[in-house]
Amino acid sequence: MVNGKKALLLLSGGIDSAVALYLLKARGYDVIALSINYPGRGERERESARRLAEMTNTRLIEVDLPFMREVVELWGSEDERPQHLRNAHPSTIPARNAIIYSVAAYFAEMLGINLVVAGHNADDVKHFPDTTREFRRLFSKALSIGTYIGRTRGFRVVAPLSRLSKTGVVKLGLKLGVPFEYTWSCHNNYDKPCGRCTGCIARKRAFEELGVEDPLERVIREGKDWWRIHYSKK
């Protein structure tokens, strides 16, 4: 990139991180994507991240963190969980973003990048305390003190979509030309979305509020889903 702007993006393969990717590209950033693989993350979502990176000519770094597990995997029932996690969102991973931001900081400093970008939206704050602006601000301060690149250039962890609802994120993505048919929101790893998990429900509501058909639903209905086509050739 001529302008020298670089960013390390946390790319999950979902709607939010896909929109963040296209937003950064539109703003002229040279983007390197980081994809964190953990046991509860399905192969379909991983492949979506790979596909989005390939489509945008973005270097993708994948890191396996096998110890990271959601609370529904760590304990068999809510009664078995520690008291402070009894009402946690089912997909909560203890200290998730503290871990992920730290891993991102490792690669960022190694690559000479002092900007880490996450795809959190305004709805995330309702369920996950580690997606708040205050958490990012304090983490950025810690990394500015505790890394060499941070001490010379400062270090920022930002979420450019954090003031937008899921509907707002989809609306922005449509303007940016994000290929939503290559994104995956379902918490399950079926050939098509389950339609019942919180990821599916939030996605469906966003497109319905905009009065737009979800491109993923359309390609699945028409039998043109890239995932099925890709794996049927193997």
Average pLDDT (74-85) is 80
Average pLDDT (102-110) is 98
Question: Given this model, what pLDDT does residue 190 score?
Answer: 80
120 and 157 Cβ atoms separated by less than 8 Å: no
Mean pLDDT score of the chain? 92
Residue 159 pLDDT > 50: yes
List, as own/partner pairs, every contact residues 97-100 make where C-beta atoms lie below 8 angstroms and the sequence separation is at least 24, other chains included: 97/128, 97/130, 97/131, 97/135, 98/130, 98/139, 99/65, 99/68, 100/10, 100/36
- Model confidence band, residue 1 (pLDDT cutoffs 50, 70, 90): very low
Output the six-digit token pair for 135: 């958490």
Tell me how far apart the alpha carbons of residues 217 and 72 are, in angstroms, rounded to a whole number.
28
Tokens 């959601």 -> residue? 70
Output the six-digit token pair for 4: 């020298």
Question: Given this model, what pLDDT does residue 54 score?
Answer: 97
Question: Given this model, what pLDDT does residue 48 score?
Answer: 95
Residue 191 pLDDT > 90: no
Regarding beta strands 30-37 and 59-64, do their DSSP bridges make them parallel or antiparallel, or are they unpaired? parallel
58 and 30 Cβ atoms separated by less than 8 Å: no
Entry pTM: 0.92
Neighbours of 102 (CB within 10 A): 14
Question: Given this model, what pLDDT does residue 168 score?
Answer: 98
- Model confidence band, residue 2 (pLDDT cutoffs 50, 70, 90): very low
Strands (E) in the chain, as ranges, are 6-10, 30-37, 59-64, 115-117, 156-158
pLDDT tens, position by position, 20-78 = 999 999 999 999 999 999 988 889 999 999 999 999 999 999 999 999 988 777 777 77
